[in-house]
Structure 1
Amino acid sequence: MNTHIDFLKLLLPPVAYDKAAQFLSTELSAEANQLDAFQASVMAMLLEIDPRTTVQLLSDWERVYGLPDQGLMTATTIAERQARLTAKVLQTGGLSKAYFQSLLEQAGYTVIIDEPRGFFAGVNRCGDRIYSPPAVCWYWRVRLRRNGQVISAANRSQVRAWLDNFKAAFSFVDLED
């Protein structure tokens, strides 16, 4: 199916060439095939420059963005890999609970993050857990679930390594069951 052959015939001078001649039509058809193939490769390349649709250059994109992240479950399908790449490209960074919660949820975990406070008179009451205020300032308790189940110790250590890469150096994250 040549889409360019009609355009090539329009480029011929109207009187000098017979547009229906056999040899000329064969030559124009061959050139139109090349133009059609080139257009198809350009259209395919347009899909490769977008991380949401890339397939052939997916491994190159992942290499540039440092994927797969150490510590997170490995993405197995192309759609999962594209989703993880897109998330990495759109990452703006941050130190908030919401930022880390969204990153872990994108990786397929159900997350609860607590920021315990020190015990203060007039604020807390009898029975509240006591933490040392200097240590508590930058301390998070993270509870992870995957498909409603507590994650294994191996997965927990992978997530801890991943969090250590992204958390602030002066903070402490405790993964609980």
Structure 2
Amino acid sequence: MNGRDYAQLLSALLPPKSYALTGERLTAELQAEGQSLVQLEIRAGEVADGITPFLAVGLLADWERMLSLSPDSGMTLQQRRQQVLARINATGGLSRKYFITLAKSLGYRVTIDEPEPFRAGIGLAGERIWVPEIIWLWIVNIDDAQVPVYRFRAGSSLAGEKLLTFGQNLIEGLFKDLKPAHTQVVFNYREKTRP
């Protein structure tokens, strides 16, 4: 409904013959109240959309605060939503498979290496000699040095955002937050060699 419709509805609710419905002041008051109801309807829609982060705009900041996320000022609405959804989907886990699946949900193809220290009888000539503390390190290999691309889309972007943006690597912050506390994660960006 628009403000005029609300004004007509409000005028129909007035007691009959008690008010001069064509009066200038009453008409102005009903139009102002009608506009207030239009704004209320818009805000109610934003609250309903904010129940989940899929459509949240005005309440997206509340989702970020609740999930302890601090978005960069240059992030688009799509990037912020993806970051919130990734944090919600991050249920926790310690296995390689968990982190590989998590990366896949963000659009990355990764492999994870867990280096082993050199041990006599197990290590072979020509292998890298790691220190014993290497067991606390794991290496995330990100294939093709992928960077997410965000295109402006009606309904998923806000007015004033760029038509094309290249996202920051959400994977690093998410992995560092979810990794076991006693470990260190290193990111290795690899470009595919082309023949």
The TM-score by the shorter chain falls in which range? Answer: 0.5 to 0.7
Is 1:166 the counterpart of 2:178? The answer is yes
2:60 corresponds in structure 1 to: 58
More helix by share: 1
The C-alpha deviation readout for 1:84-127, integer Å capped at 9, x for no partner, is 1122123321223232113323444321236789xxxxxxxx9x
Write the distance in 2 (CA, Å) between the matches of 1:113 and 1:31.
61
Contact 2:138-2:186 at 8 Å conserved across structures: yes
Is 1:97 the counterpart of 2:96? The answer is yes
- Shift of the alpha carbon at 1:68? 4.6
1:41 corresponds in structure 2 to: 43
Counterpart mapping for 1:133-148 below 5 A:
142-145=140-143, 146-147=145-146
Distance 1:77 1:25, change over 3 A: closer
Contact 2:110-2:142 at 8 Å conserved across structures: yes
Give the superposed CA RMSD: 4.5
Q: Structure 2 unaligned runs (5+)?
A: 117-123, 128-132, 148-167, 191-195
Identity %: 30
- Shift of the alpha carbon at 1:61? 3.2
SS in 2 for 1:10: helix
Counterpart AA for 1:143: N
Contact 1:138-1:171 at 8 Å conserved across structures: yes
The structure with the larger Rg is 1
Contact 1:75-1:81 at 8 Å conserved across structures: no
- Shift of the alpha carbon at 1:10? 3.1
Number of equivalenced pairs: 156
Distance 1:74 1:28, change over 3 A: closer
Normalising by structure 2, what TM-score?
A: 0.54
Write the distance in 2 (CA, Å) between the matches of 1:49 and 1:80.
18
Q: Structure 1 unaligned runs (5+)?
A: 118-125, 130-134, 149-154
Normalising by structure 1, what TM-score?
A: 0.58
Write the distance in 2 (CA, Å) between the matches of 1:41 and 1:114.
49
SS in 1 for 2:5: coil
SS in 1 for 2:44: helix
Contact 1:48-1:55 at 8 Å conserved across structures: yes
